[in-house]
């Protein structure tokens, strides 16, 4: 059995130590916590899993380096393309690679531990200011299962959607999922952003 994890809602927001986890493969999009453009993502495979895969028809670009592309002669297939051998042919996405690389380098420069601590500081500020008499928290309030995603709903469900619209009108970006609000502060947010969201929520009486 192969254990594959979708890390899209964690990678970039919390430290992920794959060496200490029983994970065979991890996939993640680049446009969420990694702050990249749409159409970016990656897949990590354990070396033994990669070695066990059966080869498939080669996508030509996976066998080329920057120096190889554009040469008229000397085309050759690499013997060690790694996981790139599994790239599926599609429209080249070169324009997104540079900004995504800049985002990843920025995150690494800050340190994921530092980013995670800031995100959790904002989450804690939000939870401390949330009125439990009017709002029901769906996501964990504390402990290791708490993430940077805070999911909540009004105790009167019919008022949750209007709240989402008032937040949007106030310039507070949250998601509306299955009748609930999803708040996800990240490194680009400030305590003032959290307070503005709480102010809108507090005004609903």
pLDDT tens digit at each of 205 positions of the chain: 899 999 999 999 999 999 889 999 999 999 999 999 998 999 999 999 988 887 666 666 666 666 665 565 666 666 677 777 767 666 667 788 899 999 999 999 999 999 999 999 999 999 999 999 999 999 999 998 999 999 999 999 999 999 999 999 999 999 999 899 999 999 999 999 999 999 999 987 6
User: Does residue 138 share a domain with residue 153?
Assistant: yes
From residue 68, give the alpha-carbon distance in Å to each of 44, 63, 64, 73: 25, 9, 5, 9
User: Does residue 105 share a domain with residue 25?
Assistant: yes
Which pLDDT belongs to residue 78?
67
Report the CATH number that the domain containing residue 89 is assigned in CATH.
Answer: 3.40.640.10
End residue of a domain, out of 59, 88, 110: 110
Report the CATH number that the domain containing residue 186 is assigned in CATH.
Answer: 3.90.1150.10
User: Does residue 173 share a domain with residue 119?
Assistant: yes
Which pLDDT belongs to residue 184?
96
Give the residue numbers spanning the domain of 181. 112-202
Which pLDDT belongs to residue 112?
95
User: Does residue 149 share a domain with residue 66?
Assistant: no
């Amino acid at each position: 059995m192969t254990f594959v994890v979708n890390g899209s809602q964690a990678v970039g927001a919390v430290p992920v130590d794959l060496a200490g986890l029983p994970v065979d493969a991890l996939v993640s999009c680049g446009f969420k916590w990694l702050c990249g453009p749409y159409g970016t993502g990656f897949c990590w495979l354990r070396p033994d899993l990669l070695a066990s895969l059966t080869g498939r028809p080669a996508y030509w670009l996976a066998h080329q380096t920057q120096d190889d592309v554009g040469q008229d002669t000397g085309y050759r297939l690499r013997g060690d393309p790694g996981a790139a051998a599994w790239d599926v042919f599609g429209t080249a996405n070169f324009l997104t690679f540079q900004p995504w690389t800049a985002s990843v380098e920025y995150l690494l420069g800050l340190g994921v531990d530092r980013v995670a601590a800031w995100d959790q500081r904002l989450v804690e500020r939000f939870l401390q200011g949330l009125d439990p008499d009017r709002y029901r928290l769906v996501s964990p309030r504390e402990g290791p299962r708490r993430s940077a995603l805070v999911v909540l709903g009004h105790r009167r469900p019919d008022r949750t959607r209007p709240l989402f619209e008032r937040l949007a009108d106030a310039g507070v970006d949250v998601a509306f999922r299955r009748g609930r609000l999803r708040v996800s502060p990240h490194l680009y947010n400030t305590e003032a952003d959290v307070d503005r969201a709480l102010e809108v929520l507090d005004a609903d009486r």
